[in-house]
Amino acid sequence: MRRSLMLPLACLLLVPAYVGCGGDEVPATAPGPAKEPADILYSLQYMAVRKDYHQAAVVAPITPDIVYPGAMHFHQDAKAMGLELTPEEIKGLGIEHLAAKLDSLPGGPSDDYPIKDARLAFDAGIYRLAKGLTAKSWGKMKHMGITDNVAARMYGSQTIVKDMALGFGDSKILTVSCIKKPDGNWGISFMRYEVNLKSLKQD
């Protein structure tokens, strides 16, 4: 699913505490559920920099129609970019039993790939893509606009997806598609880099 979204960003009154990280700021404590699409940035920063493997689940949807294809695409894209998980990360993510097939996941369920495993693979895929940026790059990441993704309506008239652009300087680095979940909070349905990570200058 590829989507796009743009809302005016309201001032966030309940932002998690921040601390310096090599001169850059990232959340010091785990952010709660995303009340708005913009809140997802803070979970990504915290997860990637603090290496809290459980944070991805906070901003992950649980419906199979999103989880199965999302997990497949996350890991395919990460593999194409040369992003690999370390043994420590695989253990922390709880996916030892899936590690050998992450790069060839199916887009739907099977007898040996139930939804509980797809959710683990989805969360691991978010982390695997996020680790493509350094801690300093995540600290500099800012919102660069949110747009409605009209194409997402093909999944149902009630489906609401917004595409959030993230970047630093004048460069758009990442597009995160955010889907409104049944509980009213927002989750990640898709992520894609808009730059070649190998040529991106990171401090």
The tokens for 76 are 């395919």
Count of residues in the chain: 203
The tokens for 105 are 């996941």
User: Residue 2, SS3?
Assistant: coil
Q: How far apart are CA 195 and CA 72, in angstroms?
A: 21
Q: How far apart are CA 84 and CA 129, in angstroms?
A: 9
The tokens for 162 are 């917004």
What's the average model confidence in pLDDT over 37-64?
95
Dihedral of alpha carbons 134, 46, 92, 187, sign: negative
- Maximum distance among all Cα pairs of the chain, rounded to whole angstroms: 48
What's the pLDDT tens digit per position in 66-118?
A: 999 999 999 999 999 999 999 999 999 999 999 999 999 999 999 999 999 99
Predicted confidence band of residue 158 (pLDDT cuts 50, 70, 90): confident
The backbone torsions φ and ψ at residue 192, rounded to the nearest 5 degrees and listed phi first, read -150, 140
Please report the pLDDT score of residue 24 as a whole number.
Answer: 42
